[in-house]
Structure 1
Amino acid sequence: MAEANGPVKHVLLAKFKDDVSPEKIEELINGYANLVNLIEPMKAFHWGKDVSIENLHQGFTHIFESSFDSKEAVAEYIAHPDHVKFANLFLGSLDKVLVIDYKPTSVSL
């Protein structure tokens, strides 16, 4: 199957370090959310905490999802000075992190 052009979702799974306070986590989440106002290629931002009953989270507690129009837009976001500055701060507060970029695909039945 050929890879189609189009939107890309950037997903980050996170587990904050045990010594990071809830207030600091809230501050970091607000900073992450504000990137959508600072970096034009970032079209949307959503986040949430794990609520699964399957207990398959492997220690990850938070999920962050950003939307972009293309893989090139993701690359522009990653290289943007505001992202680099925030990522250095954010990543220092994490115990575990996993990042996946994917192109949403719909299945017709």
Structure 2
Amino acid sequence: MVRHFGVFKFKPGINGEQVDQCFRTMKAMVGKIDGLLDMEYGPYNSSEGLNEDFTHGFVMTFDTLASRDAYLPHPVHEKVKEFVVPKLERVIVFDIDVPQH
């Protein structure tokens, strides 16, 4: 299994409804891209203060590395990026393998 996770800092002037629409659009990829099992998201929620101005995060779960690799250039993903990326000031994405026990 692969976890694909990231954090976003939205551009100034992007409102809450636009943020929600970005994540709803991302979540809608589940069921349209083979191997994308789940997608969760939400605002930063810690008193630790280590978010470095990133305000929201997401986690996607893929069944295999091959599914994650197929997702990256997938036309549905490319369309979502066209909608989301222009609203972002910064983004970090990180993937990890999750061993199955």
TM-score by length of 2: 0.92
1:94 maps to: 88
* Deviations 1:49-76, CA, capped at 9 Å, x for gaps: 1111111101111111000112111111
Q: Give distance in 1, aligned partners of 2:80 and 2:13.
A: 19
> Higher strand proportion, which one?
2
The alignment partner of 2:28 has SS state of helix
Name which of 67, 70, 77 aligns with 1:73.
67
Structure possessing the higher radius of gyration over alpha carbons: 1
Identity score, percent: 27
Q: Could you list the structure 1 runs, at least 4 aligned residues long, displaced by more than 6 angstroms after superposition.
A: none
What is the one-letter code of the residue matched to 1:65?
V
What is the one-letter code of the residue matched to 2:19?
I
The alignment partner of 2:70 has SS state of helix
TM-score by length of 1: 0.85
| Count of residue pairs brought into register by the alignment | 100
Shift of 1:88: 2.0
Q: Mind listing any 5+ residue stretches in structure 2 that lack a counterpart? A: none
Q: Mind listing any 5+ residue stretches in structure 1 that lack a counterpart? A: 1-6
Q: Give distance in 2, aligned partners of 1:76 and 1:44.
A: 16
